[in-house]
Structures are given as C-alpha cells and as structure tokens.
Chain A
Amino acid sequence: MDTLLTAEIAANAPRYRRRSSTQLDGIHDVSDHQNNLAPAQLYSTMSGRLFHSGRIAIVMVGLPARGKTLGVKTRIFHLGDYRRASVEGGQVPQDYFYPNASPASLMSRQKILKKCREDIYAWLNHENGQVAIYDAVNPTANGRLALAKEFAKHDVQTLFIESYVDDQEILKENARNVKISSPDFHGMDPDEAAKHYLKRIETKIPVFETMEEKELNYIKMINAGRAFYYNNVSFNYLSHRIVFYLTNLHIKSRTTFFVRAGPAADEDSFKADAPLSDEGQAYAQKMTDTLLRHREQERQASIEQGGSDAPLRPLTVWTSTRLRTIETAEPLKEMGYKVRQRSEMSQINPGVCEKLSERAIRALYPEEVEKHELDPYHHRYPRAESYHDLAVRLEPIILELEREQNDLLIIAHESVLRVLYSYLMHCSTMDIPKLKFPRDEIIEIIPAAYQNEAKRIHIPGLDPKTIPGSPEDIRIPVPSEPGANLPPIPGMNGPEPSVEFIVTRPPEKIVNKAAEMVSDKVADED
C-alpha cells in the first residue's frame, strides 16, 4: 500500500499472514487475468514492472521474511518449504543442518538450493516478477558474495537485509515467543522438539557471520529497529523505499478506531462539500458518546482483570479536510481532544461519475464500465481516482499511522476507510472496493503480538436511514455479483441488532501466523 512498496521485512514486526510458500502475499493476491499489474504500483508498463527500478532480489540474512510485502509484484521463496517438499515424508537426515554434513546430505542440500533459485529466476524473467524475497539463513560472507554474483549474472540486483540482535533482553523475549510449531516438529513430543530445535541452532551459530561485506548492498537492522546500518553500493528506488518503511515500523500496543463521517445536508455531491445535516450532527454526538464510553469500559474491564489503573492513552483524531469529517469531530474537539486535518484523507474523487446514477453511468460510459468490471481496483473513470490512486495518495498517512504513539480515531469517507483497513488487516486488493463500513459501527483495530484484531462496536440509536449505503457514496458501478451487497467481512450479514447497549462482536479476523513463521525459520538452511 506504500507508493511502491510495503515491505514488512522487519524482524519483530510480526503482522504476518503466510499463505503458502511461493505465493503472492495476502494483500496483493490478485486474480490471474490481471497478472500484469501489481497493486499500488504508481504507473503501469507492458511487463508490469517498474522500469526505473529493475528486478531485485531481497535476501534475508538470519531472519525470517515477513509477508504483507511489496506494492510491486513480489513473491517470497522460502528455502525451508523447498526442503520439506523435496524430502520424503518431510524428514531430513540428522546431519542435514550440520556444517560438516555427510556427502549425501550435502548433495540433497545443493539440489534443494538449486531448485529454489531456478524458480526465482524463472519467476523474475518469465513471469514479470519484480521483487523476489529469498528467505533462507544465508549465514556466511562467502555464500552471500557468491549469491549476489549469481543473481547479478541473471540481471537481478541483490539487497541483503539482516536483523542483528545483541541486546540480551530482546534475545530472551524472542526465545520465549518462538513456539516450536514448525511442520518439521509436527507430531513430536514438545520436549523432544525443543531439544532438536536448540541443537539445530547450536549447529548453526558457529558459522553465522554478520554482514560486513563492503561490496554488497545491505541493510542491517540492529536490535529490532533501534538502529539501522545501510551499506549503499547502488541502492535503487525500491531499496530506498524499504529503508523508509523499515524506519517507520513501530510495534506499539495502541488502538486505531475507524468511523464514518456523518451524513451531509447536500446528499450526493462530491464537489459541493456540504456540511452535516441534522441527522449528521446527532450522529457525531452519539458516535462520540459511544466511543468514549467504550474506552472507559475497556479500561474498567482491564482494571478488574488486574490491569493497571493508569489513565487512558491519549486519543488523537484525524479527519480529512472535507467539511463533513471536520464537523463529525466537532464534539470531540470541544472536549479538548486534538483534531488534525489531513488533506490526503479526502474521499475518492468520482470524476465524471459525480451525481450520475448507476444506470446513467452505464449508458454514458459503457466502455469504461466494462473496463471497471474487469479491474475495479485499478480502473479509473475519466477524471476520477481509482482505488489504487487513493492507496498511493494515502501512503504518507499509512507511514505516519505506523509511527503514531497515541490511540487514534480516524473519521473519513468509506472509500478511505476501505484502503486503511485493508492495509492494517491484510485484505486482498480485489476486496477493497467491496469492504463495508456501516455508519452504526466503530471499528477498533488492536495490534496483538502476531495478529491484528478488529472489533466492531455498535453505535446505538441511529436513524436507520443513515446507516447503510452512504448517501454521499459515490455511485461507481462495481461488478454486479449475485447478491450485490456482498459482505466481505464475516459476521456482517443480517439485520443489525437494535440493542441499547454496546455490542462488541467477536474479533472477526485472525490474521497472522508469524509465530509459526519464526520457528519455521530456525529450520532453514542453505
């Protein structure tokens, strides 16, 4: 969702959803017929590659690759998966991981390596891939130099990323977190697994050399992002984006809330930028009451469970520069909450579709509608913005969101919420245009160790008219599917419960499986 790149390659940034080994990451999992375009790519070329960047292999050194990858066509190649797939029954010989393995084990190691790298070249060269993430331990300087040379021969630039930890506290924390859930240990007695696991680490640590190769491009992330070292021999555009992204990652237990703006007086004009209607004013007040009550209840619940009775984390409010969002924040502003206006958060521009009914658009722009149906995420109506344009525009907001330390309430148009939500919850780009945010719900996104969780908090007592399909919604036709109001989020179906207390639905999505990923990594070798 980054302009070009959203590489969460950082260690200890474990929002991860791993689908399968050689898969596009979750966000950018696009359907086959639009294979040439990667989401969040600033411009498109025939090959689907950014020509001013070139093909690049990101090589992980001693740390697991994280998903939620790049805004360009990216694929992760996990060596560990290749090993498991190529060895009968998933069992490797005892000495497979040892530096001084037997000839048979060495040979099987070489074979697996070769297969993985061949797949990388094939993908970059014949499938228009732009960024291949090669996920293996790559422990020795000589191995890395050879690897970079080999990639260069295939016209691929290499960027190494190493996570370097020498802080004892972080090491201990990591050891506690890594559960031995790797498929390698499946069905094994936990104690037995732990022994194997530790032995494996021992066999590797003596050969691991931290990166100091002056002739290679590398980024060394030190102690989980406290410091960074860049050796820039020839950084290109993507490398620079990765740098910025990595320095902005921040793991904080703070909450983000999303709400819609209230309904406006002038219903369906984008350009008019109308103020709130009376219902809109009422909505702003009810939303505020519900949110503040919810925060206080959460705090009380936490105290009852023995949590600290410290005051709530401060809440900051971001709105767009559209009047409706500013006015929706008014009650909070009057109570002294800090409200910031961000022009990047304006709703999607409908272009020529403004004020037209869906039927009129179909009649006037039949060709555009056809193109739109093929690719609702990237297609742009005349003078309008596509969701992709919007995602690019929102990139600075996303980076700042990663940095924010306070709790955050975002009041914005549904189109903006769709993009931000999909970033935080790892939705597929193809689902973005269809995500729904009814006005009677506050979305709460809570980062947890290995998963972002989303809760929906009901705002009671709203005029039902104002709840569904937003009146200010831009009527850009979306592909007509059976049951056109397709609920993309489980648990969103059916009538709203009209109860007069706060309903908190169970977390709707468990996203990440990074714990598995991390432990899995320990088993990788090359």
Chain B
Amino acid sequence: MPPRTNGLGIMPEDTRICVVMVGLPARGKSYIAQRAQRYLKWLSIPAATFNVGNYRRENAPRPSADFFDTNNAEGERKRRAAAEAAVSDMLKWFKSGGVVGILDATNSTKERRKWVLERVSAEGIEVIFVESRCDDEELIMANIRDVKTTSPDYVGQDPDKAAVDFRERIRNYEKVYKSINDDGDEDHLTYLKIMNVGKQVFINRIQDYLQSRVVYFLMNLHIRPRSVWLSRHGESMLNLEGRIGGDAALSHRGEEYALKLPELVRESVGSDRPLTVWTSTLKRTIATGRHLPKHYNQLQWKALDELDAGVCDGMTYQEIADQYPEDFQARDEDKYNYRYRGGESYRDVVIRLEPIIMELERSEDILIISHQAVIRCIYAYFMQKTQEESPWVPVPLHTLMKLTPRAYGTELQTYRANIKAVSTWRGKGSTAKHEDPAPEGGI
C-alpha cells in the first residue's frame, strides 16, 4: 500500500519570491507582512519575515530621531549594516528551502530598492515590491499610538514624548522618501502600491500565479473592526454512536443547542447587529442555524462540508482500528497529511478552504457553523497553529468561539452553552474511542 499522503498542497514549483516592503514608518508595513506570512504558512508555503529594525536594534537599541537623519553618518552606516545583515540572512534562508521571504523595512529610496533588487535577483529569486502609502493623518496617528509607542525602541518612555520623537523620525525618512516609479524610471519593477489602505491600488508587471495570489490576498485585507464566530453543529445522532462523517440529523441535545444558539450569539455580539451565517450543505449544520433571527442572511458552502472520511465514513474509531489497523496507525503519526482511503486529509481541507479564508478576510461579521475538522483548519489560520497541532485542537460541541483580529495576532473568546454533549475528541496515540480532552488542552 503506497503512503496515503500527498506532497505539498500548493506547490509553487521553482518560484521563490522576495516581497520587499516599501513605505514610511507607521504605514502598516509590518501588519501587511505579518498577515501575508500567516496566510502563506497556512497554505504550507514556507514564508518568513526579516525585519531590518530588529537587526538595527542589536547595534543601536534605542536611538533618538536624529539617528535616522540622512546626514548622520554613523546612523546611516549602522542602518545600512542592518539591511545587509537582514538580506544575507534572508538569502541563506532561501537556500534552505524558503519560498516567500518578506523584507520588512522602509526601503524608501530608489538606491536602496536597486540594491535589494540586484542582491536578491542575482540568486534567481523574483522580487516584488509592496508599497503602502498613506496620507490620511488620522490613520497614521492611530497607527503611531497603537503600535509604535509599544515598540521596543521606546520601552519605558513617556508615550507622548515617544510619539513626538517618532514623528520626528518619520520626517527624517520623508526627506529622502521616493514612492516607487514616481520618477517614471522604475517601470521595470514588479510592484504593488496600496494607497490609503486599499482605496487605490496600482499593480505593475505581475508575473506568475503565486505573485498574483499574494497580491490578491493583500488587496482583500481591510482594517475595519470585525469578528468571526465559529461553532460546530449541535450534537448529531451519529455523534451519539461515536460514528464519524455521515449526514445525520441532530440529537435531542443537539436540537437544544440549536435553540440556545441565538441567545449565545446575541450575548457574544453584544448588540442586535446582524451577522451573516455560513453553514455547510449537511443537514446538521443547517439545522443548527435554523433558529437564528430571520434578518441574518444565511448561505451554504460546499467547501464547509466535513472532512471526507472516504471508506471510513459512518464508522466508529474502533471499527476503523479493526478494519484498517495500518491506516489508524498512519493517521496518528501524521494526521495532517493522512488521507482517508477515497477521502480527504487535513491538508486537502485547507486547500479547499482557501477561497473561504479569502472571503473571510474581505468580509465583516460572519458566523460559521461547520464541522470539527473544518473548524480546526479555520481556527489554525487565525491562531497560527502549526500543522502538527491543528488536527488535534479540541473543538468541543455546543461551544461558540469568537475570533477578533488585532494588529498583532487574534483574540479568542469562548461561550459555552452548558448543554451536555458527547466528546468527539481523541488524543494522539490513544485508544480507539472518543474521550474528554485534558483540561489544559481546552480552547
């Protein structure tokens, strides 16, 4: 029996891309870089960010604004050295199998961009510049307050003073800042210019599919406040029997959860504003959402259907262990890549969820009612769980999760309905039955 795993989900072939951020400080470059990295890693594309500021801090931990004055030779030398160090580390990382490297720095002059382009493309790596431009003072100030006053550069300083110093630092950059192709002599570059958080976008010379994916993802990002709610369906008749898959109706307790859900959601939302509800096409999720208020729009996505267990659909773990002992073992060893005979792996589910994630990034408040494996994959995207962790994340029945994206990372709140349900969780390497997750494993 050949191994029932596939290779990489998205195989970017031989393309390696260096995403070079461009823009003044406090324009959300790090935010964009971090989101892009999270998205790519979720899709199993090796991605890493190289922040020049972190390299600079090793030699100049807490510089004042005049360090960034171009006439300050000492500052100039140290900043240049930091860029050198970041780029050479990035190139080393590419040699060890990196696919998308993100160089997070201001790269605000034509000379610096030319230097990066030459260094990186000499190694056969494609370069795409991503510039974030913003002239909306309010947005800039908000960004300065939120992020920069908590920056390691200003640890322990008076926030007001820090903000003043930081504005001064920005002014030093502004003196030399040149937006990409403003002089018309950078038209040969591949670049994406995002103005005022996506109000205007300019794309130049996108070459391949991976580049266009990254670009499309970045265009869908927005910073309007919102949350995503996740819930599994209520307990089903097959859950009661410990069987996986199937298309069963809700159990009595599952029905109770469906009745309780509107209240739980209202408590979590904190207002009457309507959510959009996405369910799978299976009976149990549709039934779970059916008591939600009429003014909530509901739609069914095939892509939210449960992981397809192939030949094991409708079996108990014990039956699987008896009939397919090797498979049972193999699944424990590499649950992320294990594909049920004639069914799917977690990796396959992630691939089919990609359009859902893209749509989630674009949307505002969404409530997703889906299934254990699917919720795990979506959860892994927001909470940055690794492939080793994500298939084992306990997602108990009759629990609502609220995910709220923040500048760095995602905030999680859980709401329990306090309606009993069977456990559908099984620990790695444990016996072939469902059990209660260890208390510390709860989410």
Write out, one digit per residue, whether chain B residues 294-337 have a CB within 8 A of any chain A CB (1) or not (0).
00010111110000101101000000000000000000000000
Bound: A227/B206 CA distance, A: 8
Which residues of B (351-366) have their CB < 8 Å from a CB of A? 351-352, 354-355, 359, 362-363
Taking a contact as CB atoms closer than 8 A, the residue among B6, B9, B341 that contacts A271 in the complex is B341
Asked if A247 contacts B341 (CB within 8 A), the reply is no
Residues of A within 8 A of B359 (CB): 237
Asked if A227 contacts B6 (CB within 8 A), the reply is no
The reply on A230 being an interface residue by CB < 8 A is yes
The reply on A111 being an interface residue by CB < 8 A is no
Q: Are A243 and B216 also in contact (CB < 8 A) when A42-B299, A271-B342, A392-B302 are?
A: yes
Asked if B212 contacts A227 (CB within 8 A), the reply is no
Partner-contacting stretch, out of B195-203, B390-398, B423-431:
B195-203
- Shortest distance between the CB of B424 and any CB in chain A (Å): 20
Which residues of B (178-228) have their CB < 8 Å from a CB of A? 198-206, 208-209, 212, 215-216, 219-220
Contact residue range for chain B?
35 or more
Asked if A43 contacts B348 (CB within 8 A), the reply is no
Residues of B within 8 A of A389 (CB): 302
Asked if B203 contacts A247 (CB within 8 A), the reply is yes
Residues of B within 8 A of A338 (CB): 13
The reply on A195 being an interface residue by CB < 8 A is no
The reply on B7 being an interface residue by CB < 8 A is yes
Write out, one digit per residue, whether chain A residues 130-152 have a CB within 8 A of any chain B CB (1) or not (0).
00000000000000000000000
The reply on A244 being an interface residue by CB < 8 A is yes
Partner-contacting stretch, out of A115-123, A365-373, A394-402, A424-432:
A394-402
Nearest opposing residue in chain A for B297, CB measure:
A51
Which residues of A (39-65) have their CB < 8 Å from a CB of B? 42-43, 51-52
Residues of B within 8 A of A128 (CB): none
Q: Are A227 and B202 also in contact (CB < 8 A) when A247-B212, A273-B341, A321-B6 are?
A: yes
Bound: A227/B192 CA distance, A: 10
Bound: A14/B219 CA distance, A: 26
Which residues of A (186-230) have their CB < 8 Å from a CB of B? 226-230
Residues of A within 8 A of B281 (CB): 380
Asked if A240 contacts B299 (CB within 8 A), the reply is no
The reply on A109 being an interface residue by CB < 8 A is no
Bound: A257/B310 CA distance, A: 30
Partner-contacting stretch, out of A15-23, A341-349, A407-415, A463-471:
A341-349
- Shortest distance between the CB of A483 and any CB in chain B (Å): 33
The reply on A385 being an interface residue by CB < 8 A is yes
Taking a contact as CB atoms closer than 8 A, the residue among B2, B297, B301, B302 that contacts A385 in the complex is B302
Asked if A231 contacts B302 (CB within 8 A), the reply is no
Asked if A323 contacts B203 (CB within 8 A), the reply is no
Asked if A227 contacts B199 (CB within 8 A), the reply is no
The reply on A393 being an interface residue by CB < 8 A is yes
Interface centre among A244, A338, A340 (most CB of B within 10 A): A244
The reply on A269 being an interface residue by CB < 8 A is yes
Asked if B212 contacts A244 (CB within 8 A), the reply is yes
- Shortest distance between the CB of B251 and any CB in chain A (Å): 20
Which residues of A (272-330) have their CB < 8 Å from a CB of B? 272-273, 275, 321, 323
Asked if A383 contacts B247 (CB within 8 A), the reply is yes
- Shortest distance between the CB of A524 and any CB in chain B (Å): 28
Contact residue range for chain A?
35 or more
The reply on A3 being an interface residue by CB < 8 A is yes
Taking a contact as CB atoms closer than 8 A, the residue among A51, A230, A269 that contacts B201 in the complex is A230
The reply on B64 being an interface residue by CB < 8 A is no
Residues of A within 8 A of B342 (CB): 269-273
Asked if A341 contacts B6 (CB within 8 A), the reply is yes
Asked if B300 contacts A244 (CB within 8 A), the reply is no
Bound: A385/B204 CA distance, A: 39
Nearest opposing residue in chain A for B340, CB measure:
A271
Taking a contact as CB atoms closer than 8 A, the residue among A43, A232, A237, A344 that contacts B351 in the complex is A344
Bound: A43/B302 CA distance, A: 9
Residues of B within 8 A of A237 (CB): 359, 362
Bound: A517/B354 CA distance, A: 36
Asked if A52 contacts B208 (CB within 8 A), the reply is no
Asked if B9 contacts A343 (CB within 8 A), the reply is yes
The reply on B347 being an interface residue by CB < 8 A is yes
The reply on A382 being an interface residue by CB < 8 A is yes
Asked if B203 contacts A321 (CB within 8 A), the reply is no
Q: Are A240 and B219 also in contact (CB < 8 A) when A269-B342, A400-B209, A403-B209 are?
A: yes
Write out, one digit per residue, whether chain B residues 343-385 have a CB within 8 A of any chain A CB (1) or not (0).
1100110011011000100110000000000000000000000
- Shortest distance between the CB of A105 and any CB in chain B (Å): 38
The reply on B339 being an interface residue by CB < 8 A is yes
Bound: A15/B282 CA distance, A: 38
The reply on B407 being an interface residue by CB < 8 A is no
Asked if A247 contacts B206 (CB within 8 A), the reply is yes
The reply on B276 being an interface residue by CB < 8 A is yes
Asked if B302 contacts A228 (CB within 8 A), the reply is no
Nearest opposing residue in chain B for A219, CB measure:
B201
29 A-B pairs whose Cβ atoms sit less than 8 Å apart in the complex: A42-B301, A43-B301, A52-B276, A52-B297, A52-B363, A226-B204, A227-B204, A227-B205, A228-B202, A232-B198, A233-B199, A240-B219, A271-B341, A271-B343, A272-B311, A275-B2, A321-B6, A338-B13, A340-B13, A341-B6, A343-B352, A344-B351, A382-B247, A385-B302, A392-B303, A393-B352, A403-B212, A404-B209, A405-B208
Residues of chain B whose beta carbon lies under 8 Å from any beta carbon of chain A: 2, 6-7, 9, 11, 13, 198-206, 208-209, 212, 215-216, 219-220, 247, 276, 281, 297, 299-303, 308, 310-311, 313, 339, 341-344, 347-348, 351-352, 354-355, 359, 362-363
Residues of chain A whose beta carbon lies under 8 Å from any beta carbon of chain B: 3, 42-43, 51-52, 226-233, 237, 240, 243-244, 247-248, 269-273, 275, 321, 323, 338, 340-341, 343-344, 349, 380, 382-383, 385, 389, 392-393, 395-396, 399-400, 403-405
Closest 3 CB pairs of A and B: A271-B342, A403-B209, A230-B201
Q: A227-B205, A232-B199, A389-B302 are in contact. List 13 more A-B contacts (CB 8 A).
A: A43-B300, A52-B276, A52-B363, A228-B202, A243-B219, A247-B216, A270-B342, A343-B9, A344-B352, A382-B247, A399-B209, A399-B212, A403-B209
